[in-house]
Amino acid sequence: MANLVIVESPTKVGPIKKYLGSNYKVVASKGHLRDLPKSSLGVDIENGFDAHYINIRGKGDLIKEIKKEAKSAKKVFLATDPDREGEAIAWHLSNVLGIPVEKTLRVSFNEITPDVVKSSIKKPRNIDMNLVNSQQTRRILDRIVGYKISPLLWKTVKSGLSAGRVQSVATRIIVERENEISAFVPVEYWTIEAELQNADGKNFSVRFWGDEGGKVRLENKDEAKKVLDAIESGVFTVKSVKRADKQKLPAPPFTTSTLQQEASYKLNFQSARTMRVAQELYEGINLGSELGGVQGLITYMRTDSLRISEGAQEAAKNFIVEKYGEEYAPKTPRKFKSGKSAQDAHEAIRPSKVELTPALVKKALTPDQYKLYKLIWERFVASQMQSAKLSTITADFENNGYIFRASGYNVTFGGYMAVYEATEEFKAPSDDVAVIKDIRIPDLKGGEELSLISVDSDQHFTEAPPRYTEASLIKFLEEKGIGRPSTYTPIITTILARNYVRRDGKALVPTQLGILTTKLMEENFRDVVDYRFTANMETNLDKIEAGTLDYLDVLNGFWGGFKSDLEKASEKIGSEDIKIPVEETDMICDKCGAKMIVRTSKFGKFAACPNFPKCRNTKPLEPREDEKQAVAQKEPKKEVYADFKCEKCGSDMVLRSSRYGSFYACVKYPECKFIKTKTKEIDVPCPTCGGKVITKYGKRKTVFYSCENYPKCDFSSWDMPTAEKCPNCGKMLFRKKGKDLLICADKACGYKREAEPIKEQIEE
């Protein structure tokens, strides 16, 4: 009688089964099995917020299968994901299977590797009801907000609208930024840059900073001209030169939010794409037998902690010393302080095994997996390395009472920079005197006179604050304590799906629907869209998880104020019908001359004449930039490389397919047209020449058997040759294609007998 392990994702089944062996059977719940009903509120508010959970439609057969396996199992281990959501799924599983909470065997894996899986299964615990109650509270709050407010929006705006507790806040953030942009008034300012030369003939650039009284901002052309006139008649002298040696610490390893931000900046990944690929890296990749087979490459990717285990730090130190030298490893391991709201349930996101470098595993990964793994691996290794050493310089130059400045640094010891540099490290500062990397300023002495080679002044205007991107929105949500690692991507996905926000390239732009809905929410449900209120609610959920706050106290506290707002809004909302402003296009109706507008059908958006139904003219719309980008970002097909090289040019061989089956082709095709049929050796000598028998693909991917020495040896057969000999004539026995039957190679002999069944003849 085997033990049963229930995980969430089907992709975990294979590797975990392999690690645990034949005494364990592993099945997947494929996410939640139970949830609140869609057709009703599903929460009895008057009776202690009792939640009415039902089996999710379409999962009946899966539930029956899991029940059957659990009934015949020796022990049942609930191995869902290691977070609130995973704990809730485990709790729902225990209810479905009829296992009391106090008798449950709950295990979780921070990484899907043999050591972690085996050690975790030896130390099961009971389901943590504090975690479950925290998740339930979030689910009930979201359900109450959505199901109570949405009908009011239907009365006023349009049918089908819905409100969300955190999604409404995120929409408000984007709407408010759009209002800031609309209200922004550009302010003029000027910069002056001069090129100077010292007595040795070395040139360098300086920029206007101010005067003896401090920093000065040049607000118009006249002020800039006044400075220009003064310096052209004066002489530049060295006022001061300050040099210093500084250390720059590496960035900490990734949390969920910083991973999403950096993947956006460096890889141009949207948050959903980042999390999908990270999930694949966590759940397991087949690296091939030489690298240990299937295993997870990173730790759990939903975390806000910066903690690193001692074992991982020690492994990183050994790798750094061996790869880069002892001077690149700090004397004591680095410890990074997590944010105040961090749950610290998991480590930061790091590679499961630091010795599995991106270059080593590249062939086993898709392009997206490789890019993200490389980013995670480099960030982690850099975080455990020695600080970079910088030589900084700030030089001031005086001319007729005006101060010009040059500021920058040179890297004297790269340290962690040998591996990774974070995006934010070298962004231009808000100060209009830029800090220059690899600055080149000659040796200067105080009072030294310099020659003016050239001087330029430029007009500028202050710019409106930029629209939020997914990366900057996630950063803002994290800073305000709104949402948690597992919710950032669903929040953004939801507001886009509900058409409250649309993408314009990377920017998130509120739609007229989003603006109008936000206005209604602010007027009637201020708490729901209040930043501080939402952040406090997240803190309360953390306290429920920690066991320091009762979930019913949180629900009752919320319902008291919300019920009052709901009653007032019910009287106010619906008294007038508010129409959503239409979105105009640049297209002119060629039938009546009106400016066409955007309409939506079940097939998508299209341009329509506003004079409908008098004029029924419609036109297709060109895809927007964000839609084109979504197509461009479609996940590429995974490339599978062969473990041999091209026999003509020595390049990699990659698996391709045609209507005749699979084969390996040179990556330099069409320059190199060498191909090799995908084959597998059979441990049987060729009956004709004694060479190796291999499998090949025929038409429609059917398998046949051939000699490796083809065309010198013309042996081929649809039936599989075996190592057995015919007891009558001594010739080779063949397994009849598609049948569990052995027949003699000599038809005249006629010998045949039943054979042991086999599952497959070739590895597809």
How many beta carbons lie within 10 A of that of residue 164, not counting itself? 21
Whole-number pLDDT of residue 51: 94
Q: What is the mean pLDDT of residues 588-614?
A: 85
CB contact set of 473 (below 8 Å; sequence gap of 6+):
170, 173, 174, 492, 508
Whole-number pLDDT of residue 382: 95
DSSP line for 172-228 = HHHHHHHHHHHH----EEEEEEEEEE-TT--EEEEEEEEETTEE--B-SHHHHHHHH
Give percent of the chain with pLDDT exceeding 70: 90
- Is the pLDDT at 579 greater than 80? The verdict is no
Helix, strand, or coil here: 722? strand
Question: How many CA atoms, within 13 angstroms, populate the side-chain half-sphere of residue 411?
Answer: 14
For residue 746, the Cα-to-chain-centroid distance in whole angstroms is 61
Helix, strand, or coil here: 477? helix
Q: Give residue-wise pLDDT tens across range 88-109.
A: 999 999 999 999 999 999 999 9
Q: Give residue-wise pLDDT tens across range 313-330.
A: 999 999 999 999 999 999
Cα(25)–Cα(6) distance, rounded to whole angstroms? 9
Q: Assign 3-class secondary structure to 164-188.
A: CHHHHHHHHHHHHHHHHHHHCCCCE
Whether a cis peptide bond, with omega within 30° of 0, leads into 466 is no
Where in the chain are the domains? Answer: 3-127, 137-184+466-572, 188-249+389-461, 256-383, 584-632, 679-754
- 137-184+466-572: CATH superfamily: Topoisomerase I, domain 2 (1.10.460.10)
- Is the pLDDT at 760 greater than 60? The verdict is no
Q: Give residue-wise pLDDT tens across range 169-181.
A: 999 999 999 999 9
Whole-number pLDDT of residue 763: 28
Report residue 560 as tokens.
């008291």
Nearest to 306 by CA among 336, 266, 340: 336
Average pLDDT, the chain: 86
Whole-number pLDDT of residue 429: 41
Q: Which of the four pLDDT bands, split at 50, 70 and 90, describes residue 160?
A: low
Backbone angles phi and psi of 611, in degrees to 5: -90, 15
Q: Give residue-wise pLDDT tens across range 618-658.
A: 988 866 555 555 555 554 555 677 767 788 887 888 888 76
Cα(718)–Cα(698) distance, rounded to whole angstroms? 10
Whole-number pLDDT of residue 654: 84
Cα(523)–Cα(517) distance, rounded to whole angstroms? 10
- Is the pLDDT at 447 greater than 50? The verdict is yes
- Is the pLDDT at 390 greater than 60? The verdict is yes
Whole-number pLDDT of residue 430: 42
Q: Is 19 exposed, middle or buried (0-12, 13-18, 19+ CB in 10 A)?
A: buried
Q: Which of the four pLDDT bands, split at 50, 70 and 90, describes residue 371?
A: very high
CATH number of 3-127: 3.40.50.140
- Is the pLDDT at 413 greater than 60? The verdict is yes
Q: In the CATH hierarchy, which fold is given to the domain comprising 188-249+389-461?
A: Topoisomerase I; domain 3 (2.70.20)
Q: 24, 300, 373, 664: which is the annotated catalytic residue?
A: 300
- Is the pLDDT at 433 greater than 80? The verdict is no
Whole-number pLDDT of residue 246: 93
- Is the pLDDT at 428 greater than 50? The verdict is no
Cα(688)–Cα(708) distance, rounded to whole angstroms? 11
Cα–Cα–Cα angle for 130, 134, 135, nearest 5°?
Answer: 120
DSSP assigned state of 736: P
Whole-number pLDDT of residue 6: 95
Q: Which of the four pLDDT bands, split at 50, 70 and 90, describes residue 690?
A: confident
Whole-number pLDDT of residue 194: 94
Q: Which of the four pLDDT bands, split at 50, 70 and 90, describes residue 764?
A: very low
Cα–Cα–Cα angle for 143, 172, 265, nearest 5°?
Answer: 105
Q: Give residue-wise pLDDT tens across range 114-150.
A: 999 999 999 999 999 999 999 999 999 999 998 998 8
Report residue 92 as tokens.
């729902």
How many beta carbons lie within 10 A of that of residue 669, not counting itself? 14
**Could you tell me if 557 and 543 are in contact, meaning their C-beta atoms sit under 8 angstroms apart?**
no
DSSP assigned state of 759: S
Give percent of the chain with pLDDT exceeding 90: 54
Whole-number pLDDT of residue 727: 79
Q: Give residue-wise pLDDT tens across range 67-82.
A: 999 999 999 999 999 8
Q: Which CATH class is domain 256-383?
A: mainly alpha
Pairing of strands 236-248, 449-461: antiparallel
Report residue 223 as tokens.
């002020």
Whole-number pLDDT of residue 576: 59
Cα(402)–Cα(432) distance, rounded to whole angstroms? 16
Cα(18)–Cα(26) distance, rounded to whole angstroms? 10
Whole-number pLDDT of residue 695: 78
Does residue 300 have an active-site annotation? Answer: yes
Tell me how far CA of residue 589 lies from CA of 585, 598, 608, 612, in angstroms: 10, 12, 8, 11
